[in-house]
Amino acid sequence: MKKIFVTKPYLPDRVAFQEKIDRIWENEHLTNQGPLLTELETELKSFLRNPYFHFVTNGTLALQLALRAFDITSGEVITAPFSYVATTSSIMWEGCRPVFVDIDPKTFCIDVNKIEAAITPQTRAIMAVHVFGYPCDVEALEDIGRRHNLKIIYDAAHAFGADYKGKSLLSYGDAATCSFHATKVFHTIEGGCVISHDEQTHKKIGLLKSFGHIGDDHFCLGINAKASEFQAAMGQCNLKDFAKIIQDRAQVSTWYDQALPLEKLQRPFHPSDFSYNYAYYPVVFETPDICKQVIANLTAENIIPRRYFYPSLNTLPYVTNADPCPVSESLAMRVLSLPFYKELDEASVIRIADIIKRSL
């Protein structure tokens, strides 16, 4: 029986994609802000309703560029332990120390009530995570940032297409980053973006992603975070299909809602005034043992879920002197992201749900 994986990259119409590739051959322009990438950036600025948008090579470099844009290369950055490892590694790679604040047990995002106790004279920023594409308490974070003169950077890797209070979730904070990795709702094979909110920061990110120079004039230390025309070709095709992608993923989510014993599972809190992008379908079991049993039973049927996110990042072997985060550590042991992608059919969803019911 064919394996069902936790996710599956969306592939657009091959003829439409080939037309984009033909343009690359005609232009003979492969990278360095080529015409397709310039077009895609314009389209994404319009989609996200923000002119201060930079497309970059991947979501991890996007986080690093956001830190660099605000000259945060030392000191402490408060962050959440329930995320993919890139959130922590980007902080450490830029020479900062991650300070972990536990998460809210309902939203799975950073617990804003615990942040101020973690602020010290060395704190430079807060890097919060819109976990699974659900929003942090952006109003509380904005207030904390303003009162303590801290930059608020959102790891919004999962949040493309999610809206909160009438605007893109990527619009909040001093900067927000997103991942366009192949497994994301909107993807460009590899890729990502940095969104800021003023011309000066926007120009600085543009320099930082292109070695710090324009032509022969060098202005600052930079890195190579430029993307290729092939990434842009995939992005243009997928953006055109995005509404249909969301519609079909919403249907898969509804099938899960109907088939699963939700009274025995925990799901992330869905706030009002929020439009979800159906990035993931995570479920939380009562105990780690139940979670392990479900994984074993699904795997035996060629269904491959993922403990996403695991482990709690404060327990990484190369992180030192991190405080315990009991909520995150417990959740990481009990959470499972179920197979979830546009092409997943109802019969497969019912089969997955039946295995989970039997396991419980």
Q: How distant is the alpha carbon of residue 123 from its chain centre?
A: 24
Domains 14-239 and 241-359 belong to one CATH topology = no
Q: In whole angstroms, what is the distance from residue 185 CA to residue 334 CA?
A: 24
Cβ atoms of 37 and 55 closer than 8 Å: yes
What pLDDT, in 10s, does the model give residues 26-46?
Answer: 999 999 999 999 999 999 999
Kindly report, residue by residue over 132-159, the tens digit of the pLDDT.
999 999 999 999 999 999 999 999 999 9
| pLDDT tens-digit readout, 323-350 | 999 999 999 999 999 999 999 999 999 9
Calpha distance 303→338 (Å, rounded): 9
Per DSSP, the three-state class of 134 is coil
**Residues 129/110, Cβ–Cβ less than 8 Å:** yes
Run of H or E residues at 336: strand 335-337
Map tokens 């936790």 to a residue: 6
Average pLDDT on 257-274 reads 97
pLDDT of the residue at 2: 85
- Judged against a pLDDT cut of 80, whether residue 115 lies above it is answered with yes
The three-class DSSP label of residue 177 is strand
* DSSP character string of 253-308: HHHHHHHS-GGGSB-----TTEE------EEE-SSHHHHHHHHHHHHHTTEE-B-S
What CATH number should be reported for the domain whose range is 14-239? 3.40.640.10
Interatomic CA distance for residues 165 and 141, integer angstroms: 16
What is the reported pTM?
0.96
Model confidence at 121: pLDDT above 80? yes
pLDDT digits (tens, 9 = 90+) for 81-113: 999 999 999 999 999 999 999 999 999 999 999
Q: Where are the domains of the chain?
A: 14-239, 241-359
pLDDT tens string 44-82: 999 999 999 999 999 999 999 999 999 999 999 999 999
pLDDT by residue (tens digit) across 8-24?
Answer: 999 999 999 999 999 99
Q: Is pLDDT above 80 for 1?
A: no
Asked if residue 116 lies in contact with residue 141, where contact means CB atoms within 8 angstroms, the answer is no
Residue type present at position 340:
F
Percent of all residues in the chain with a pLDDT value above 90, rounded to a whole number? 99
pLDDT of residue 237: 98
pLDDT of res. 79:
98
Topology adopted by domain 241-359: Aspartate Aminotransferase, domain 1 (3.90.1150)
Q: Where are the alpha helices (DSSP H) in 34-178?
A: 35-48, 59-69, 85-93, 138-148
Structure tokens at 273: 């005034």
